[in-house]
Amino acid sequence: MTTPLTPIPPNNELPHRKIIRSWLTPLSEKNTLRAIVLMIIDIALFFALIAGAIVFEPWWAKLICGLVCGFVIGRLFIIGHDACHQSLTPHRKLNKWLGRIAFLPSVSPYSLWDVGHNVVHHGYTNLKGMDFVWCPHTPEEYAAMSKGRQLMERFYRSGWGAGIYYLVEIWWNRMMFPTKAYMGTQRKVFFWDGLLSSVFGISWALVVIIAAIQTDQSIFSLLFFAWFVPLMFWFYMIGWVVYVQHTHTKVVWHDNKVEWAKAQPFVSTTVHLTFNFHFGALMHHILEHTAHHVDMSIPLYKLKAAQARLEEMLPERIVVQKFSWRWYFKTAKATKLYDYENKRWLDFNGKPTAQVL
């Protein structure tokens, strides 16, 4: 018989990460068949929705197909994300190929995501100077920006700009043939993965154009519904997801590596966002995010149970937030700049809006 685990009181010192991960070990087993079936379902949905956007005549039906297709692209990306973490199946080489395939509809280079996400983001979560994803600026940094750049920052953090942030700052600058300014190390695999993604994205557009000609439809209109809308929905979906996973008035950012390491950042820098109607399951449980940061080897189909185990064992330690649009825009209003010394969020005028500690 196994000894029952005892929850750690909130005032006690947080156990070492190895101990916390040991609580989740029984949930890290992978199932190849289950992973492949999930992927086949989403690939079939992707192509069916593209076909629907082409075949259906009413504009609203085309729009619905395009929007839902964008959501399915997000589901496929989550599967690829698991493969990139080697948590989708027990087979390393299979994961790499499944990940590349799952990333194609989002036009995302597998190896560049691997470096930016697995190495940088997971290795240095919420450490300024290392983790670049939604890293808040200081008032001094903001004041030194050009007026144009300040305007971009205001839009990015308005609550409306998450998709454009991801499109420009992550996808374009750091994933699609990035310059040395954004990716100091250049590898051949980066180029080939970028080329593979580009060829898929262009081929997708060409197929839609050919379909428009063959069905006597407007090329511009069909490209909009069957190519542009799915991709833009995807960019907004991923931009929103990475924002809400690590931006909260209770979430701490650090600019000192020693201080950051002592803070056990895999617990204190993530948000578990909850929804009604099992919406999280539709997103392959990617928002059960604390468990994922504690142990990246846990497959997406076991994250819900892993998150529940963590919240049972670490009461009051994990940021759990019920989602609402009111909360989202209130958070966006309160999290513009950051005071790293006093650990508090500021507005664009440098005025404190929320004290974390």
Secondary structure tally for the chain: helices H, strands E = 18, 5
Low-confidence ranges of the chain (pLDDT < 70): 1-4, 354-357
pLDDT of residue 3: 45
pLDDT of residue 155: 97
183 contact partners, CB below 8 Å, separation of at least 6? 112, 115, 174, 190
Burial of 37 (0-12, 13-18, 19+ CB in 10 A): exposed
User: How far out from the chain centre does Cα 222 lie?
Assistant: 28
Beta bridge partners of 273: 321
Q: How far apart are CA 237 and CA 241, in angstroms?
A: 6
Query: What is the pTM for the complete model shown?
Result: 0.93
**What's the CA gap between 291 and 28, in Å, rounded?**
11
Locate 167 and state its tokens: 């499109």
Find out whether 235 and 106 touch, Cβ atoms under 8 Å. no
Q: Helices (DSSP H) in 215-264: which residue ranges?
A: 219-223, 229-246, 257-262
* Tokens linked to 341: 């010394």
Alpha-carbon distance values, 213 to 217, 218, 219, 341 (Å): 6, 8, 7, 60
Q: How much is the pLDDT for 1?
A: 35
DSSP bridge pairs for 355? 344
Q: Any idea how long the chain is?
A: 357
Tokens describing residue 274: 């909850």
Q: Are 63 and 44 in contact (CB under 8 A)?
A: no
Cβ atoms < 10 Å from Cβ of 273: 23
Element (H, E) at 272: strand 271-274
Give CA–CA dist 76/20, Å, rounded.
Answer: 29
Residue 56 belongs to what H/E stretch? none
Domain segments of the chain as ranges? 17-355
Tokens (6 digits) for 24: 């989740």
Task: Tell how strand 337-339 and strand 352-355 pair up.
Answer: unpaired
Using CA atoms, how far residue 307 sits from 51, 174, 245, 283, in Å, is 37, 30, 14, 15
pLDDT at 2: 44
Of residues 262, 248, 246, 301, the one with CA closest to residue 122? 246
